[in-house]
Structure 1
């Protein structure tokens, strides 16, 4: 038994959604539900990160962000985790490598919004990430076209899976990626933080 880590068995299709979740909101829930359905996943794990090196502001304390995330979730197929803290990893490539070592036979899919695909080529060892796991992209407001013409999309254009076949993404050998269009939810953590700050003033 892996103490403090979620259960998974070989053959399961598990989506990994990383982020600061500062705070978690219905937009996160929406893309998670769409990912479960459209990518044919059995589970999704939210990887609540200790901090995001690409974001200048420090997030709220980890325990507060995890507690908030668990409040907004209602689907038993979704687990809120502090995996990166438990594994001692900060970079996505290291986290995925560690999880693949701990869960042999599990079919992981890295999930991210289309806005992240635009900057994905700036991530540490992004090509290693793409070579380790399929990537599921969820379109978000204003980012569909920028993502489609991003540097990463151009480099990996041969590995793109048509949206109509996205349900089998987890069974593809990486590199493989698919982008799905979902009903737009414009709620953002930035807006919620600003609103909370205004309300507390």
Structure 2
């Protein structure tokens, strides 16, 4: 509701704050930390974690990055590309219009970088853990993957809504990580990967 009223520097500051909070919770909920805590509690109890906080933060973070990089506004209408002073109050002079356009383009570029980096990090950690699952029968690894699956699914579903041009530009980085998750034991993760392929990859087919 209020996101569109903020200026570019304010939006960037909020992105950075959210990312810092996410990095803290993700570190606390890391695969190694969760496995370590599992050794000190009964098997039927989940380890101490900040998974709910990380999931909520991930949802908000993805939402603002998607809004910033999307080609559509909140009403589902496509936003026209900037062309000189197009879309800018005509009462503003050319220098002011150019400055606003520059800040908007810079904001979108920063948001795209953060979005791609965040998604890639979550996918890489998940795919690395999935690879180790196939090499061991350690139930702790399976349990950790199960605990973290809602966050992985949230990111995959967020990627379904990603600007398709951004997805296409970074497909070479995403694709190997996604392929490794196809064989994941968690059905919800496999389903989310299937949805992502259907929504993003199908559009790339001739």
* Length-normalised TM-score, structure 1: 0.27
* Length-normalised TM-score, structure 2: 0.26
**Of Structure 1 and Structure 2, which has the larger fraction of its residues in strand?**
1
**Of Structure 1 and Structure 2, which has the larger fraction of its residues in helix?**
2
Query: Computing the radius of gyration over CA atoms, which structure comes out larger, 1 or 2?
Result: 2
